[in-house]
Every structure is written in structure tokens, then in C-alpha cells.
Structure 1
């Protein structure tokens, strides 16, 4: 029997991919973050087959990333709006955009992030709110969190293995 994909091990990356790890879903979210709400907008912008778009929108609604709102009864028509979970995906889209520009755009940047108030191009970097350091700094690593199962604990060190956390436990 063929497996439908990796088994859910509690890994947050895997769980995220199960909801948005398909190109059409990410592109629909990208367009929704830019303001698209209607089926025909998504279809026109993405040049996606209607049956695929229908399935992806349904999946995004079921995953809690979008919600469907009726805007016309005759004929029945719906809009698709981002939920908070969907709006929180903005940072992921921006990270993909930045990474793609940096590593996969030999012709140059086709889309950039711009500050609407100053017109200046942003230079995105993910930072730790507590220290202000970029997450790319080698001081950061992954660790098993409080809800980690045994499989995750085997792969990652415990938070308790790091100096500051050990001192806080005393």
C-alpha cells in the first residue's frame, strides 16, 4: 500500500506543509495577502483551472487559513478572506520571496518588498525579538519544545541543555 506522504510526527514544518506545502495553495495565499478575494480574481491572476482552484480554496478554508463569505445569492457567489492564521502566513511568503530573489533570480529581482511610507526597498531578515539578533546567527539552533514527543526528543537537544534555560530552572 502506498503512503500518502510523511507520517505526522509532531514536527511543525511537516504540519505546515500538509496545509500549505503545495504551490497553488501558497500562490493563492500570496494573492489573498495582496487583496484578492474572489474566485475570478484568483483564476485570472494565477491562470489556474477552475477545478484545481475550487479544491485548493476548499482546502485552505478547511485548514482555517481562509473563510468563505457569501456576497451574492443569485447566482450564489462567495468571497474568500484570510483568517488570522492566513494573515500570519505573510512572513512565510515574504521569506520565500526574499530567498527566491537571492538564490533563484539570475535575471534580477522581479518582485521586491517596499516601504509604502518611504518608497525604500526593504531588506528582510528574520530576527529574534528578545535579542535582536538575526536567526541566521549560528547562536540559534532548533531544540525540542515542551510538547515534543519521543521521536522529536531523539532528534533535537532539549531546551534544558542550554545554559540560560538551565539557570532559569534552578
Structure 2
């Protein structure tokens, strides 16, 4: 089955999915956030095949989320360290963890807690407005075309219900996507 590339779609969610590509990639990033840097440690902690891990690490290096840094000369061995771009993915993983803790954890509760070392409390992700700091909730936001949306797709996109000025159309009530071919 041929994979549909999303890298040219005018949508940041689609482009992010294109980088992640599969279920192993976020888990590799999770381990990197937990401090794992070496190939064998990734393989051991994830129980992932070496060939799959090689592909995922290579893709993350190619995308600039990890950098490959030598730590041994004979034989040459490398560590995989988070870049600024990779570290910026942390809130995404925290949001996924928050959702999973709410909807996928068993009766015993979340399997892993996150302690905020600054204040000492256990914490979870909150998505808030960058301006007023109020929570961003589904019913309180609406999509608008941004400056990076391709000019040639603007007119057809403006016809989609999700971009209508009428607030009754609201988020989550629209049809298909505008794809960049």
C-alpha cells in the first residue's frame, strides 16, 4: 500500500503527521525526552527491531528533530540528541499523555506521572490561549486561513464550511480537506 505524503498539504497537523509517519516515531521521541540517547538503549526500552529503529532515528535526524553525535571513536558510535526542533515537540507528547491518562488509563490510574521540578507538583498538559491564557477548547476556536496558505487554494478553501464566517458552522462540523497536489 502506497503511503500518501502530507508534507505539501496546507495544514500543520497533516505536515506533522507526515513527519511522525507511524506509531514508533512518537515513542522514540518519548524515550529521547526521558533521557535515552544511545541506539541500544532505544532498542531495549522500546523492544523495537533494529531495522525499524534505524529507519525512525534516521528520519528524525533528517527532519532535524534529533542530531547524531559521536561518543566513541573505535568503533564509531553515535548518540541521538534532541535538537531545538525536537525539544519543541515536548508539549505535543504531553498533550497525548494527558488524553491517554484520561481515556486510556485503567482503574489504577495513569501509568506514569509527570512531576514539575520547578514547583514540585505532579502536572499535566493544558492547552491555553497564548494571549489571554484561558484554556483552548474545541467549541471556543475556529480556523482561519493563515499567511502560509497557498494563494491558488484560497478561493476553494473559503467555500468550505470550516472557514465560513457563520459561527454555526464551527469547528468539527465541516467536510473534507483541501489538499495540495
TM bin, normalised by shorter chain, reads 0.7 to 0.9
Q: CA 1:38 to 1:6, structure 2 compared with 1: closer, same or farther past 3 Å?
A: closer
Distance in 2 separating the partners of 1:123 and 1:51: 34
Between 1:117-126 and 1:73-82, the stretch displaced more is 117-126
Distance in 2 separating the partners of 1:153 and 1:60: 34
1:121 aligns with 2:127: no
Structure 1, unmatched stretches of 5+, are: 163-170
8 Å Cα contact 1:70-1:76 kept in structure 2? yes
Distance in 2 separating the partners of 1:99 and 1:84: 25
Distance in 2 separating the partners of 1:39 and 1:106: 31
Q: CA 1:87 to 1:153, structure 2 compared with 1: closer, same or farther past 3 Å?
A: farther
Q: Deviations 1:12-50 (Å, cap 9, x if unpaired)?
A: 111101101411110111111111111111111111111
CA RMSD for the aligned pairs? 2.0
8 Å Cα contact 1:9-1:152 kept in structure 2? no
8 Å Cα contact 2:5-2:18 kept in structure 1? no
Distance in 1 separating the partners of 2:78 and 2:3: 31
Residue in structure 1 matched with residue 175 of structure 2 by the alignment: none
Residue in structure 1 matched with residue 45 of structure 2 by the alignment: 45
Q: What is the TM-score of this pair, normalised by structure 1?
A: 0.84
8 Å Cα contact 1:10-1:152 kept in structure 2? no
Count of aligned pairs between the two proteins = 159
Residue in structure 1 matched with residue 56 of structure 2 by the alignment: 56
Residue in structure 2 matched with residue 74 of structure 1 by the alignment: 74
Q: What is the TM-score of this pair, normalised by structure 2?
A: 0.79
